[in-house]
Homo-oligomer: A and B are copies of this chain.
Amino acid sequence: MTRDDKFRQVAAEFGFDPEQEIKIGGKYTPVLIDGNTAYIAGQVPRVGEVVRFVGVVGESITLDDGRRAAAISTLRALTLIRNRCGTLDAIQAVPRITVFMRSAPDFTMQSEVADGASDVLYAVLGDAGVHTRTSVGVLQLPKGAAVEVDFIFSVRSV
């Protein structure tokens, strides 16, 4: 199965339409490729017009939903790369992801939430999904989203 097929399969598991338009709020670009490095703007778990998970992980959002939110943010990033590069085969590695999440004051499972992003990267990209990661519990995020993830991909011409 190709990466692009795996991507469609994983997207379907999350009820995420891989052909949807990725809407971006604000005055910036969602993807910028500089040399072989592709930067993706911070992605909240928006599906179509709606931010799917709004709230605080460890309070109104469960650990499992936090993980789903991180997965959807990652599916958005993969959609953006595929649309830009034509195929996910362009990805060579994922040098860095940073996973910000709204957190209850006593919630310390930031790594477990971030696993939702890591799992999608490995499921779709296999060994090329290897990445470094930083997970941080914050006070607020745009639109009250539970999770926001940004990405640096290493890409090649395909």
The interface of chain A, by Cβ under 8 A from chain B, is: 25-32, 34-37, 39-42, 92-98, 100, 103-112, 114-115, 118-119, 122, 130-144, 148, 150, 152, 154
Contacts and interface: CB of A to CB of B under 8 A. Distances in A.
A133 B39 CA distance: 9
A140 B31 contact: no
13 contacts: A26-B115, A26-B118, A27-B122, A31-B132, A34-B37, A34-B93, A35-B154, A42-B135, A103-B140, A110-B141, A111-B142, A111-B143, A139-B139
Interface centre among A100, A112, A135 (most CB of B within 10 A): A135
Given A34-B154, A142-B108, A39 B132 contact: yes
A43 to B, nearest CB: 9
Contacts of A37: 34, 95
Contact of A28 (B34, B109, B112, B133): B133
A107 B140 contact: yes
Contact of A29 (B34, B104, B130, B142): B130
